Amino acid sequence: MAVQMLETFASCPLCESDPSRVLFTHKKFGKFIKCSHCNLVYVRERPTPSWIKMRESEPYRSVPIPDVLINRAIDLTPDFQSILKRLKQYQNHGKLLEVGSFTGHFLNLSKEAGYDVAGVEPDSISADFAHRTFGLNICRSIVQDSPFKDKTFDIIVMIDVLEHLNEPVRGLLELHRLLRDAGVIVIEVPIIDTVFFNLLGKYHRHIIMDHILLFSQTALYNILDKCGFYPIHSELYGRRVRLGRIAWNFRNQSESIGGFVEGLLKGLRIYDFSISVNLRDMVRVYCKKKQTT
């Protein structure tokens, strides 16, 4: 399937500076630009139609949400529980919003932990899955178009979402509006200030179709500060990963390689095995709102 490339950013989406350089060019995803001012890396062109439309139309997908993504959400249960355990130290009850709630697995655990939960998810297929599976009512929109009033939530959680946003500053400012003054926001993003990214470049695992922003830790803290947040805790975390998902990820680089790895893992009967991996290239930051005078 041919993918048309469109220019997305005329200037840096974090600092709006123009000086930049091409870090590398990916044969499928276009030019990756590094801002000379704030060091944010971003994709100059973005595939269109959107990831959601492409996922619905790709011929090799046999189900609206591939099993590999459902399994990923299930495998993240220990990570989700770790987030909730720390959140209990800051806010042990109250209203919790998840931005990009996807299949609803984290939101369901939050509800079981005693929080009054709400979710925002623009993918209607995923929102329908969350409603059908967990009885969750998800707002089917981007957060900027959600109906929530100022200072509605005690906690906001955004897991692997910020790197997908065309307007990251606008999105974070909207979360600032929705969060109560004493509230806590949790943000997880992949980061690129690592040895592996320097070695692998455009072949790194974070280079996938819908990652249009690539943060260093410094760039992440800069955008949080710009939008009125300050960190109270951060950690470089790992994941449990099914080997089948690794094969699925290979398809981002090559359908033939991905198919070979998938066949090999199934032949060895280890496709559904999972391993713990911490490459220190993902960061989780807990923040509060800066107080205005």
Region at 25 (left for phi over 0; alpha for psi -120 to 50; beta for the rest): beta
Q: Among 182-186, 195-199, 251-255, whose mean pLDDT is lowest?
A: 251-255
For the segment 40-45, the average pLDDT, to the nearest whole number, is 88
41: domain range?
4-238+278-289
What is the pTM for the complete model shown? Answer: 0.86
Answer whether residue 262 is part of any domain: no
Answer whether residue 44 is part of any domain: yes
Answer whether residue 258 is part of any domain: no
Identify the CATH number of the domain in which residue 182 sits.
3.40.50.150
The residue ranges of DSSP E strands in 36-159, in sequence order, are 41-43, 45-48, 95-99, 116-120, 138-139, 153-159
Specify the pLDDT at position 1: 37
Cα(201)–Cα(220) distance, rounded to whole angstroms?
A: 19
Answer whether residue 28 is part of any domain: yes
Answer whether residue 243 is part of any domain: no
pLDDT in tens, 16-25: 988 789 999 9
Answer whether residue 22 is part of any domain: yes
Cα(67)–Cα(73) distance, rounded to whole angstroms?
A: 10
Answer whether residue 190 is part of any domain: yes
Answer whether residue 249 is part of any domain: no
User: In total, how many domains does the chain have?
Assistant: 1
Q: Which residues contact 111 (CB under 8 A, 6 or more apart)?
A: 117, 134, 136
Q: DSSP string covering 147-196, please? A: -PPTT-EEEEEEES-GGG-S-HHHHHHHHHHHEEEEEEEEEEEEB--SHH
Cα(109)–Cα(81) distance, rounded to whole angstroms?
A: 8
Cα(197)–Cα(137) distance, rounded to whole angstroms?
A: 38
Rg (CA), the chain: 19
pLDDT over 70, % of the chain: 90
Closest CA to 113 of 135, 96, 136: 96
